[in-house]
A and B are shown apart, each in its own frame.
Chain A
Amino acid sequence: MAVIKIKVNGKEISREVSDSTLLSDFIRDNLLLTGTHIGCDTSQCGACVVHLNGKSVKSCTTLVADCNGDEITTIEGLSKNGKLHPMQESFKKHHGLQCGFCTPGMVMSAVDLLQKNKNPSEQEIRDWLEGNICRCTGYQGIVAAVKDAASKM
């Protein structure tokens, strides 16, 4: 067990955690932020992507004990003052989601892409999102949404 101090969605949090607790479980079960989803057990699906110190990570393969002093943003922390982030707006506009289960991870991953590459080509978007599986949209609306968001951010 270890006591960690982290900042989640701008809020300082201090908790005692076990050495084996995954960041994804900690976010869902301890902080009750259930927007971060768990869709697989092999770190393949990407439904659990959050930002750790501004970069996208799969929270199901991150130990929370390793996150002491770190800053985490989950999907719940993306919109500010009730206003959707441009990426969220763009997903809505282009029907980039259906059942919504992969969406939080997909959006968090896409936001990080645009931090690294402000104007990605379609192929670059598709390659980047290779680690996020969506079963509903065929990725068409998602790719269109990321392109559109890039033009607005």
Chain B
Amino acid sequence: MANLVGARIERKEDKKFLTGKGRYTADINLSNQTYAYFVRSPHARAKITKVDHSKAKKAPGVVDVFTGDSVTKDKIGGLICGWKIVSQDGKDMKCPPHPVLAKDVVNFVGDHVAVVVAETLEQAKNAAELVNVSYKLLKPVIKTEKATSFENIHEGIDNNLSFDFILGDKGKTNEAFSKADKVVKLDLVNNRLIPNAMEPRAAIGDYNTSSDELTLYTASQNPHLDRLIMSAFNAVHPEHKFRIVSPDVGGGFGSKINVYAEDVVVAYASKKIGRPVKWVAERSESFMSDNHGRDHVTHAELALKSDGKIIGLKVDTIANLGAYSLVLAAVTPTYLYAPLVLGIYDIPAACCTVKGVYTNTAPTDAYRGAGRPEATYVIERIVTEAAKEIGMDQAEFRKKNFINKFPHQQCLVHNIDSGDYNAHLDKALELSDYKNFENRRSQSAKKGKLRGIGLSTYFEACGVAPSAVVMSIGAGVGLWESAEIRFNPTGNVSVFTGTHSHGQSHDTTFAQIVGDKLGVSIENIDIVHGDTDKGPFGMGTYGSRSLAVGGTAIVKACDKIIAKGKKVAAKMLEGKPEDIDFKGGEFILKNSNKKKTIGEIAFACYLPGTFGDVKSPLPEGVEPGLIETSFFDPSNFSFPSGSHICEVEVDEETGETKLVKYTVVDDFGTVINPLIVEGQVHGGVAQGVGQALYENAHYDESGQLTSASYMDYTMPRADNLPQITIDYTCTPATSNPLGAKGCGEAGTIAAPAAVMNAVIDAVGSDVSMPATAEKVWKVLKKNGSKKAAA
């Protein structure tokens, strides 16, 4: 059998999606089902003085109405922050109460106040209009940089400061700066984004009054974690009687990690009324209440020697947490951000502070890249600026400062096991024809276009694990991963993974790995995920961890299958287990022509008696069956890196930016399926381009979200993007046997800096994200461009 790992194999999961047979949560309808509609706050900040639902309760078709009082009475716990950060004064971060239905105060437009459950969706919606909530309006704080000087929006949280985090040695960094020949300074805003998975969130609670079992169907990236949180903290239902199913999920990008109020409330409501309760978000609800991402205000300084060597970095960031702290809200702008500001440069001294602040906006949390795009934006913008200021070619400047020996202990956190940064930059420079850029700039100028080039040599820490490390810095759980392999008696294989695929193509990638390991064709391998009743507890999919951590758990479970198979084969082939080789799906007795296929061995494992020619094949002490489980906890993160080179043309008359050339060279370590990996990079780059040029979550001064539809929030569309050239270099990861580093977030991490460096190169001065035509035009006008049309 040809090698499956490394092959461009078309996806196993495609047929169902292409024929309309995908089954997303909204596609599920249960008998006797009711419909939920949420009453949400229209105000950014207000006291609730009264919730009168008497009229709504009597409206046609209404089954029940639940409010903050109902959930308090039934002791339903609030939503949690799952990873707590400690401030520089040694105190724990401050988290305000976050009830699933607000009782006393609301803190952002879209905050959940009540839910109406009715026979039809229309009836629930109509009755929700009759829920009369009396509010006493309070002045909200919206802007990130204003939060600490505003009155407290949460009782007991002074200056609206959740945490004041520091990483690095301040003294040593100051000392480095005192020796600098030049200090480059930069102020940056990382714009607020809305993840916008195309499938809006949805949840169906289904309580079985006979068995006392509760099932929640929900669009989640991590159903096991959801169940744990909802059992242990929200006290919805005991874990052993609680099943969570995340069927086909239409994209996540971080926005489907959290346990949301709607998940808890439909599960709770179903128990209360003894019938299924279904909720599907309208897109405007997704805009308002899905977790948002980014929203940083940063000042950075880079200390240089006159020869261009970087000797120190200081970064001070204010991160907007929004109204409450969600599951990964605090770790995203701290441990997923601060260590990464070093990029791939050998910087001996650095210090990064992060103030996490509360405002009256939707809570922020992980959004594709989570912390790493923000870090990359800081370092890749400032190294570009530094190269310019000292008059060095930006590629040469980067190379001069690259880490070039591995393993490398960075001065902040990470110990990078492998990489070759010159290799991917050189390849990208060649593919993009970097050396002839100035010719292209002149050609563009003849057409009246300003051409610019931008580099982003990114780095990320992903394969989010290892448990000992993440728990020592505040994670509420370990981040290992599980796998179970059930080799069925008829020779096919069911693989259960604790990760979850919502576009990442696990059905195919994992089948390729198992196919190679066990010598089974991928048609006979089924990858099962997304149901807490089926496989072992697992941590889910985020942080580009599924392959490096989940894939390795699968490899280890395969190894156990082979080890047991060898014992059984030894008995059947009349040899010793150590004399059995396993290759291409066959157990072969050394120095003989005796062999058994893995299918024959599996069959024998399930029939440890006499059946036809097969007689008691199991050696003494070996249990029947061929099912193995493995839990893998890696020793380190994995560290993908790569080089993106972007070229843009800016129309001087209109300010419109057009991407004309985009080149990517990634080092993902081992690539299992290039077709799938390219798709991950394409999509990631598109989201990064979206941040740089188009997307912006905007609140007005009163706290109204003015970008709450696709008419107002600009998603990248087919006509906004060019063809992207992709290539690879490979230094395998040493922290897992696959050598895989992770590829899911890389595009989104690198692209904003590459695009913005190109825009700034074209325009000749600073532009903030998103670099919309209007904004660029204003900058051109300010710079004295005569062509910028009036």
Chain A residues at the B interface, C-beta cutoff of 8 Å = 28, 32-42, 44-45, 47, 74-76, 78-79, 84, 88, 91-93, 95, 97-104, 107, 122-123, 125-127, 129-130, 132-143
B411 CB–A CB distance under 8 Å: no
Q: Are A101 and B198 closer than 8 Å at their CB atoms?
A: yes
- Give, as a whole number of angstroms, the nearest-CB distance from A33 to chain B: 7
B238 CB–A CB distance under 8 Å: no
Complex Cα spacing A136 to B676, Å:
11
B406 CB–A CB distance under 8 Å: no
In the complex, what residues of A have CB within 8 A of residue B20's CB? 33-36, 74-76, 104
Q: Are A42 and B711 closer than 8 Å at their CB atoms?
A: yes
Q: Are A136 and B717 closer than 8 Å at their CB atoms?
A: no
14 sample A-B contacts, Cβ–Cβ < 8 Å, listed by A number = A34-B24, A34-B27, A35-B20, A41-B284, A42-B283, A42-B709, A92-B18, A99-B197, A99-B248, A100-B22, A129-B719, A130-B718, A134-B198, A143-B718
Complex Cα spacing A76 to B27, Å:
14
Complex Cα spacing A39 to B284, Å:
10
Q: Are A138 and B18 closer than 8 Å at their CB atoms?
A: no
Q: Are B686 and A139 closer than 8 Å at their CB atoms?
A: yes
The one of A74, A99, A107 in contact with B502, judged by C-beta atoms closer than 8 angstroms, is A99
Complex Cα spacing A70 to B237, Å:
49
Binary contact track B5-24/A, C-beta < 8 Å → 1, others 0 = 00000110111111111111
Binary contact track B501-532/A, C-beta < 8 Å → 1, others 0 = 01111000000000000000000000000000
Contact residues on B (Cβ < 8 Å of other chain), bracket = 35 or more
In the complex, what residues of B have CB within 8 A of residue A126's CB? 718-719, 721
Complex interface: stretch among B128-136, B138-146, B308-316, B677-685? B677-685
Complex interface: stretch among B249-257, B583-591, B758-766? B249-257
- Give, as a whole number of angstroms, the nearest-CB distance from B254 to chain A: 12
Q: Are A98 and B724 closer than 8 Å at their CB atoms?
A: no
The one of A40, A100, A132 in contact with B709, judged by C-beta atoms closer than 8 angstroms, is A40
In the complex, what residues of A have CB within 8 A of residue B676's CB? 95
Q: Are A133 and B686 closer than 8 Å at their CB atoms?
A: no
Known A-B contacts A39-B283, A93-B10, A139-B721; the reply to A99 vs B709 at CB < 8 A is no
B710 CB–A CB distance under 8 Å: yes
Q: Are A42 and B710 closer than 8 Å at their CB atoms?
A: yes
Query: Can you name the residue of chain B whose Cβ is closest to the Cβ of A127?
Result: B719
- Give, as a whole number of angstroms, the nearest-CB distance from A16 to chain B: 16
In the complex, what residues of B have CB within 8 A of residue A123's CB? 719
In the complex, what residues of A have CB within 8 A of residue B19's CB? 35, 75-76, 78-79, 84, 88
Complex Cα spacing A3 to B30, Å:
27
Chain B residues at the A interface, C-beta cutoff of 8 Å = 10-11, 13-24, 26-27, 29, 196-200, 248-251, 253, 282-284, 502-505, 675-676, 678-679, 682-687, 709-711, 715-719, 721, 723-724, 747
- Give, as a whole number of angstroms, the nearest-CB distance from B390 to chain A: 35
Known A-B contacts A103-B18, A135-B687; the reply to A92 vs B251 at CB < 8 A is no
In the complex, what residues of A have CB within 8 A of residue B282's CB? 41
Complex Cα spacing A39 to B682, Å:
21
Q: Are A97 and B17 closer than 8 Å at their CB atoms?
A: yes
Q: Are B709 and A35 closer than 8 Å at their CB atoms?
A: no
Q: Are B709 and A138 closer than 8 Å at their CB atoms?
A: no
Query: Can you name the residue of chain A whose Cβ is closest to the Cβ of B249?
Result: A99
- Give, as a whole number of angstroms, the nearest-CB distance from A49 to chain B: 12
10 extra A-B contacts, CB within 8 A, seeds A37-B24, A138-B716, A140-B724:
A40-B283, A42-B710, A84-B18, A88-B18, A97-B18, A99-B197, A101-B24, A126-B718, A127-B719, A140-B679
In the complex, what residues of A have CB within 8 A of residue B502's CB? 99
Complex Cα spacing A78 to B19, Å:
7
Q: Are A41 and B683 closer than 8 Å at their CB atoms?
A: no
Highest count of chain A CB atoms <10 Å: which of B20, B676, B711, B721: B20
Known A-B contacts A41-B283, A74-B20, A133-B717; the reply to A95 vs B675 at CB < 8 A is yes
Complex Cα spacing A99 to B250, Å:
5
The one of A44, A137, A143 in contact with B679, judged by C-beta atoms closer than 8 angstroms, is A137
- Give, as a whole number of angstroms, the nearest-CB distance from A81 to chain B: 12
The one of B26, B682, B719 in contact with A138, judged by C-beta atoms closer than 8 angstroms, is B682
Query: Can you name the residue of chain B whose Cβ is closest to the Cβ of A123?
Result: B719
Complex Cα spacing A47 to B27, Å:
14
Known A-B contacts A91-B14, A135-B197; the reply to A130 vs B719 at CB < 8 A is yes
Complex Cα spacing A133 to B724, Å:
18
In the complex, what residues of A have CB within 8 A of residue B22's CB? 35, 100-101, 103
Complex Cα spacing A140 to B715, Å:
15
Complex Cα spacing A44 to B282, Å:
13
Q: Are B718 and A95 closer than 8 Å at their CB atoms?
A: no
Query: Can you name the residue of chain B whose Cβ is closest to the Cβ of A124?
Result: B719
Complex Cα spacing A9 to B366, Å:
42
Query: Can you name the residue of chain B whose Cβ is closest to the Cβ of A137?
Result: B683
The one of B26, B250, B283, B679 in contact with A141, judged by C-beta atoms closer than 8 angstroms, is B679
Q: Are B199 and A99 closer than 8 Å at their CB atoms?
A: yes
Complex Cα spacing A74 to B21, Å:
12
Q: Are B724 and A138 closer than 8 Å at their CB atoms?
A: yes
Known A-B contacts A104-B20, A141-B682; the reply to A135 vs B724 at CB < 8 A is no
Q: Are B718 and A125 closer than 8 Å at their CB atoms?
A: yes
Q: Are B26 and A38 closer than 8 Å at their CB atoms?
A: yes
Complex Cα spacing A45 to B747, Å:
23
In the complex, what residues of A have CB within 8 A of residue B15's CB? 84, 92
Q: Are A41 and B709 closer than 8 Å at their CB atoms?
A: yes
- Give, as a whole number of angstroms, the nearest-CB distance from A76 to chain B: 4
Q: Are A138 and B721 closer than 8 Å at their CB atoms?
A: yes
Complex Cα spacing A36 to B19, Å:
10
Complex Cα spacing A124 to B608, Å:
64
- Give, as a whole number of angstroms, the nearest-CB distance from A37 to chain B: 7
In the complex, what residues of B have CB within 8 A of residue A98's CB? 251, 503-505, 679, 683
- Give, as a whole number of angstroms, the nearest-CB distance from B597 to chain A: 31
Highest count of chain B CB atoms <10 Å: which of A104, A126, A138: A138
Query: Can you name the residue of chain B whose Cβ is closest to the Cβ of A102?
Result: B198
The one of A34, A127, A133 in contact with B715, judged by C-beta atoms closer than 8 angstroms, is A133
- Give, as a whole number of angstroms, the nearest-CB distance from B283 to chain A: 4
Q: Are A138 and B199 closer than 8 Å at their CB atoms?
A: no
- Give, as a whole number of angstroms, the nearest-CB distance from A65 to chain B: 16
Known A-B contacts A41-B282, A135-B197, A135-B198; the reply to A107 vs B721 at CB < 8 A is no
Q: Are A44 and B710 closer than 8 Å at their CB atoms?
A: yes
